[in-house]
Amino acid sequence: MNIIVCMKQVPDTTDVKIDPKTGTLIREGVPSIVNPDDKHAIEESLRLKEKFGGTVTVVSMGPPQAIDALKEVYAMGVDDTILLSDRAFAGADTWATSYTLGMGIKALGEYDLIFCGLQAIDGDTAQIGPQLAEFLDIPQVTYVKKVNIEGNELTVVRALEDGHMTVKVPMPALLTAVKELNRPRYPTMGGIIKAYREHETKVWSASDIEAEPANIGLEGSPTQVKRTFAPEPRGKVEIIEGDSAAEMVSGLVDKLKEKNVVR
Amino acid sequence: MDFRLNDEQEMIRSAVRELALNDIEPIAKEIDAESRHPAETIKKFAEMGIMGMMVSEEYGGSGSDAISYAIAVEEISRVCGSTGIIVSVNNSLACYPIEKFGTDDQKNKFLTPLASGAKLGAFGLTEPSAGTDAGSQRTVAQKEDGHYIINGSKIFITNGPVADTLVIFAMTDKSAGMRGITAFIIEKGMPGFSIGTEEDKLGIRGSQTGELVFQNLIVPEENRLWDEGRGFSIAMQTLDCGRIGVAAQALGIAQGALDRSVQYAKERVQFGKPIGKFQAISFMLADMETRVQAARYLVYSAAFAKDNQKKYSKEAAMAKLYAAETAMDITTKAIQIHGGYGYTKDYPVERYFRDAKITEIYEGTSEVMKMVISRALGL
């Protein structure tokens, strides 16, 4: 099975702070990590490879520093890593990014499965997977929390807000992974050493993947992010009164039941 | 001279740190309270290649440098001193002597399972009458056709009760004193080899420590490590590597206790402000931070010496001596900063305090470290 996984290096937003004056993210000094949902996609791909043989290739679009993230996933056990990097890719929205990744994947050749994380923790759009599948004209299933392959048949379980849905998908197909899918393995010591001493990430430019200049970067982006900000908190605070802790807790539970947060 | 860790070493640190926070820390209190061997953690270490970090790939290891090894032991010990020493013993005291002194057959048979983590190792040198005076061994190995018959006992053996493969020492020639000591590789289950008393310790209680008993234990000649009479030399060289591991463990314990203390100083409010705002506390923490950094550079420089020099006994001894004393100092102050709460089991610093003490004792007491260092000065 040849699997391609799309990965993004993102700032670790769990640690990130908002600048009180501008309301935007303070990116300085924030460590960069492999996007968490992408790790679940990589883990599942490695498990499928262990079961069925084949290769796992990870592709990323990003600046040169993204090579560190690619080394980390190489150390998890993937076979090859590709970085699509070019000044011309800068300023891309999800549309231009999907096009770029799609052209990179086309340059890679045949595949059985494309796996993406559900969404990136910095952009939070969840648009790349679906747009990429449309660009490549292959079926897609998002919110995948379980993958089963028997013979040549791929069946996945899709997480819904109030349940789940089992879907049979012909391959090649694109899946996006949620965190319930698996627990990603750690990179191994030997893997890390090979990643730094032996392995070379292939770096491809716009011309390497024959990308049309009009479709990439800022030029190829129909949307632009004008401002990112933390919204002002709205709503009022309600203090729950009571004579004892037990009474206050009971009052709280009643309120939560009213709002359908608990049953 | 570049004081920075390279990217490979940084990634090793962050991978081990993640494992430590997710999988080791949550059970650290429990394995100490129950004196339980963390088998599930060892399994994860095996998958990650941590049990034979410096062993060559050919024999199931990860082929890392010694600094990366020190970093791994440090990060593990930073959350759990017990787990740290289990890793250190397997790497330094079991894998290292077999890789350095073993035949290809011995390496294939014994080193590969140890390095890959399939089996757990231990090192049996200490006896009831031979601690610091390690040369005065009473365990004897009588040679007969094609094998040795071993009688005697070892005490205080880390991993002993749970080990599969052990490097042990016995006298093959009582008249030759230290030059009559020979090293052997033995395995759990060999008839004549049993585990005796298991120690009830002050600290590192998640690490199993016990007595090895040899009663007419028959060991084939091909299990002898190197030549007869070379045992003491093997033991001393192995302990140099072990001391880097223990120094890293002590460093990790100190760093972990320091982490907690800084956190507590920011949270605990007295007289209307966090106690870290008072110079009595902030100056104490400044001293602690400086000492831990000094210890860190001694540990890393000992690791660097191991990879770049033929002999590194002095560097390893200095690192262990200083890091162990640092761990004692930092953990004592950590409890002080936590006040009454630090004295209870609700907070982890009392465990760090109990764990620290052994680093001044095992694999060569601080006094022995001073002997090694002063000898290196020509005294």
Q: Domain limits of chain B?
A: 7-120, 122-232, 239-376
Instruction: Judge whether B337 and B261 are in contact, CB under 8 Å.
Output: yes
ipTM value, please give it: 0.92
Q: Is the pLDDT of residue A236 over 70?
A: yes
Residues of B in contact with A186 (CB under 8 A): 15, 18-19, 44, 47-48
Q: Is the pLDDT of residue A258 over 70?
A: yes
Instruction: Judge whether B325 and B315 are in contact, CB under 8 Å.
Output: no
A46-66 pLDDT, tens digit per residue, is: 999 999 999 999 999 999 999
Contacts of B184 by beta carbon, 8 Å cutoff, 6+ apart: B141, B148, B150, B167, B168, B169, B170, B219, B223, B224, B225
Q: Identify whether residues A57 and A137 lie together within a single domain.
A: yes
- Looking at every residue in chain A, the average pLDDT score rounds to 92
B267-309 pLDDT, tens digit per residue, is: 999 999 999 999 999 999 999 999 999 999 999 999 999 999 9
Contacts of B131 by beta carbon, 8 Å cutoff, 6+ apart: none
CATH of domain B239-376: 1.20.140.10
Instruction: Judge whether B65 and B55 are in contact, CB under 8 Å.
Output: no
- Percentage with pLDDT > 90 across chain B: 99
- Does residue A224 belong to any structural domain of this protein? no
| Nearest Cα residue to B42 out of B107, B113, B102 | B113
Partner B contacted by A64 (CB < 8 A): no
Q: What is the CATH number of the domain that holds A175?
A: 3.40.50.620
- Does residue A193 belong to any structural domain of this protein? yes
- Does residue A226 belong to any structural domain of this protein? no
**How far apart (Å, rounded) are the C-alpha atoms in residues A116 and B360?**
51
- Does residue A228 belong to any structural domain of this protein? no
Q: Identify whether residues A200 and A239 lie together within a single domain.
A: no
- Does residue A136 belong to any structural domain of this protein? yes
Q: Are B63 and A186 within 8 A, CB to CB? A: no
Number of A–B residue contacts, CB under 8 Å:
54
| Architecture of the B122-232 domain | Beta Barrel (2.40)
- Does residue A239 belong to any structural domain of this protein? yes
Q: Identify whether residues A169 and A258 lie together within a single domain.
A: no
Q: Are B19 and A186 within 8 A, CB to CB? A: yes
Q: Is the pLDDT of residue A13 over 90?
A: no
Question: What three-state secondary structure class fits A180?
Answer: helix
| Nearest Cα residue to B222 out of B375, B102, B119 | B102
**Separation in Å, CA of A140 to nearest CA in chain B:** 33
Q: Using alpha carbons, list the distances in angstroms from residue A195 to A37, A106, A191.
A: 22, 25, 6
For B239-292, the DSSP string reads HHHHHHHHHHHHHHHHHHHHHHHHHHHHH-EETTEEGGGSHHHHHHHHHHHHHH
Residues of B in contact with A193 (CB under 8 A): 8, 62-64, 68
Suggest the residue from A33, A185, A189 to mutate for an interface test with chain B (most B CBs closer than 10 A): A189
| A positions 169-188 inside 8 Å of B (CB) | 185-188
Q: What is the mean pLDDT of residues A13-25?
A: 72
Q: Identify whether residues A143 and A176 lie together within a single domain.
A: yes
Q: Are A195 and B64 within 8 A, CB to CB? A: no
Q: Identify whether residues A209 and A237 lie together within a single domain.
A: no
- Minimum Cα–Cα distance from B22: chain A residue: A186
Q: Are A196 and B72 within 8 A, CB to CB? A: no
- Does residue A201 belong to any structural domain of this protein? yes
Q: What is the mean pLDDT of residues B205-219?
A: 98
B336-347 pLDDT, tens digit per residue, is: 999 999 999 999
Whether residue A64 is preceded by a cis peptide bond, meaning omega within 30 degrees of 0, is: no
Same fold: B7-120 with B239-376:
no
Q: Are A189 and B18 within 8 A, CB to CB? A: no
- Does residue A222 belong to any structural domain of this protein? no
Residue from B25, B228, B363, B367 carrying the catalytic annotation: B363
Residues of A in contact with B57 (CB under 8 A): 190
Q: Identify whether residues A248 and A210 lie together within a single domain.
A: no
B8, B48, B68 member nearest A188 (Cβ): B48
- Minimum Cα–Cα distance from A189: chain B residue: B49
Q: Are A187 and B7 within 8 A, CB to CB? A: no
pLDDT at position A23 is 64
Suggest the residue from A15, A68, A192 to mutate for an interface test with chain B (most B CBs closer than 10 A): A192
Q: Identify whether residues A28 and A103 lie together within a single domain.
A: yes
Q: Is the pLDDT of residue A191 over 90?
A: yes
B253-274 pLDDT, tens digit per residue, is: 999 999 999 999 999 999 999 9
Comparing B202 with A151, the larger pLDDT belongs to B202
Sign, CA torsion A75/B7/B87/B347: negative
Determine whether B363 is an active site residue: yes
pLDDT at position A101 is 97
pLDDT at position A193 is 97
Q: Identify whether residues A160 and A251 lie together within a single domain.
A: no
pLDDT at position B147 is 97
- Minimum Cα–Cα distance from B49: chain A residue: A189
Instruction: Judge whether B163 and B194 are in contact, CB under 8 Å.
Output: no
Residue type, B92: S
Instruction: Judge whether A84 and A59 are in contact, CB under 8 Å.
Output: yes
Residues of B in contact with A188 (CB under 8 A): 47-49, 62
**How far apart (Å, rounded) are the C-alpha atoms in residues B302 and B293?**
14
A185, A189, A196 member nearest B53 (Cβ): A189
Backbone angles phi, psi at B203, to 5 degrees: -140, -170
pLDDT at position A22 is 67
**How far apart (Å, rounded) are the C-alpha atoms in residues A169 and A159?**
15
Q: Are A75 and B64 within 8 A, CB to CB? A: no
| A positions 139-168 inside 8 Å of B (CB) | none
For B110-154, the DSSP string reads IIHHHHHTSS-EEEE--BTTBSSSTT----EEEEETTEEEEEEEE
Q: Are B12 and A190 within 8 A, CB to CB? A: no
- Minimum Cα–Cα distance from A70: chain B residue: B11
Whether the pTM exceeds 0.80: the reply is yes
| Rounded-to-5 percentages of helix, strand, coil across chain B | 60, 15, 25
A122-149 pLDDT, tens digit per residue, is: 888 999 999 999 999 999 999 999 999 9
Partner B contacted by A46 (CB < 8 A): no
Suggest the residue from B5, B24, B48, B68 to mutate for an interface test with chain A (most A CBs closer than 10 A): B48
Question: What three-state secondary structure class fits B155?
Answer: strand
**Separation in Å, CA of B58 to nearest CA in chain A:** 12
B7, B19, B49 member nearest A190 (Cβ): B49
The domain made up of B7-120 has a fold known as Butyryl-Coa Dehydrogenase, subunit A; domain 1 (1.10.540)
CA atoms within 13 A on the CB side of B28: 30
Range of the domain at A240: 233-263
Q: Are B49 and A188 within 8 A, CB to CB? A: yes
**How far apart (Å, rounded) are the C-alpha atoms in residues A176 and A184?**
15
pLDDT at position A24 is 66
Domain count, chain A: 2
**How far apart (Å, rounded) are the C-alpha atoms in residues B203 and B328?**
13
Q: What is the mean pLDDT of residues B94-106?
A: 98
Strand partners of residue A202: A82
**Separation in Å, CA of A46 to nearest CA in chain B:** 14
Q: Is the pLDDT of residue A91 over 70?
A: yes
Strand partners of residue A31: none
